[in-house]
Copies of this chain bind each other. A is one copy, B any other.
Amino acid sequence: MTKDRYLTPLAASLPPTVPFVGPETLERQRGAPFDARLGANESVFGPSPNAVEAMKREAAESWKYGDSTSHDLRNAIAEYHGVKPENVIVGGGIDGLLGNLVRLTVTDGTPVVTSDGAYPTFNYHVVGFGGALHKVPYTADHEDPDRLLAKAKEVGAKLLYLCNPDNPMGTWHAPETIARTIDALPEGTLMLLDEAYADFMPPGSRLPERADDPRVIRFRTFSKAHGLAGARVGYAIGHPDLIATFERVRDHFGMTRVSQAGALAAIGDNEWLSSVIGQVSDARIALTRIAEEAGLKAIPSATNFVAIDCGRDGAFAASLLKALEKNGVFVRMPGVEPLSRCIRVSCGRPEDTECFAQALRRSLAELDALRNQ
């Protein structure tokens, strides 16, 4: 059999690579579990105990398909954000929703603009549907709205992707900057505003809801501050007409019962959310100090991770990453120069942070010894 015998020309052209290798895969390769799991910006603090209880209660009900409209969760999200349920679509994480939206809007050669080094899974979807990716560089470790706008105008972009606060650098823009960018969008360009990490932003720095603005669709998730990455629940907020189009392509019964129940309980537990945000803030301070003590530089972050500038090139950061892995700590790094001079470390509990600190010292010493051989 030729491998691509039945494939469409587009599918046959797609690379077999995947955006991310999971920590379980790495653990199987190295033959041992990690001592600290700080690579995927998961919330080591876990989900709200109410969410865990709700998921346990729902487990035995899993013989029933989940509610195909995620009715209760959708309504709770709408209430939480002060928007209408018609402004909200629930889906399988931001990944799943980005896939849906790209499928709805991108076909062969559709121009799409993003930043070089921004979320690879978005790029995976755009390439997967045949779109033409146009990437602009970061400016001073920030996604650059003006460059994105200029490129969108130049290529007549259908989509403009902006992640605020940014992943993988953790930097962010003020709400006025985002609002100004939306107002300056070229006719026919839709902004995808990925706000996966918005819960961690400093107070007052979040863009107010503008749910009925047809030029922007905003993505949020239960994977980060709510600690439910493994439950795959994300949502988008946008104009009701755009939100309604997801019905044409989404997997209607795709949301599990347990995940719907967990997310519903999570969004009702503000106390837990505040506590996680506080602990993340503590961890950011600790990671910044650890970086400084090691002679490295932490980049200010409004997320649950810190990008640490290792002061040299991508090859050095990659060898540090490998050494950290060997020393029991899972972290990741940006894939593109100049961001790839950094490693990206998720915020964890004090014991996780301490584990990282020790592994960092050991790994840097090992790399030093290698260099001096």
Contacts and interface: CB of A to CB of B under 8 A. Distances in A.
Contact of A62 (B2, B28, B190, B230): B230
A232 B256 contact: yes
A228 B56 contact: no
A19 interface: yes
Nearest to A233: B256
Interface in A1-47: 1-11, 14-16, 18-25, 28, 37, 40, 42-47
Contact of A68 (B1, B25, B227, B258): B25
A251 B102 CA distance: 13
B230 A256 contact: yes
A5 B11 CA distance: 26
Nearest to A37: B64
A295 interface: no
Given A56-B56, A59-B56, A231-B256, A214 B5 contact: yes
> Chain copies in the assembly?
2
A72 to B, nearest CB: 9
A249 B103 CA distance: 11
Interface stretch (A89-97, A141-149, A364-372): A89-97
Contact of A96 (B65, B229, B251): B251
A181 interface: no
Interface of A: 1-11, 14-16, 18-25, 28, 37, 40, 42-47, 51-52, 55-56, 58-69, 71, 92-93, 95-96, 99, 103-107, 110, 128, 158-159, 188, 190, 214, 223, 227-232, 239, 241-242, 244-245, 247-249, 251-259, 262
Given A22-B253, A51-B62, A62-B231, 15 more contacts: A3-B244, A6-B105, A6-B190, A7-B105, A8-B104, A8-B105, A9-B107, A11-B249, A22-B65, A55-B62, A62-B229, A64-B230, A65-B229, A95-B254, A232-B253
9 contacts: A8-B106, A14-B248, A20-B252, A25-B67, A40-B65, A93-B253, A230-B256, A231-B258, A258-B259
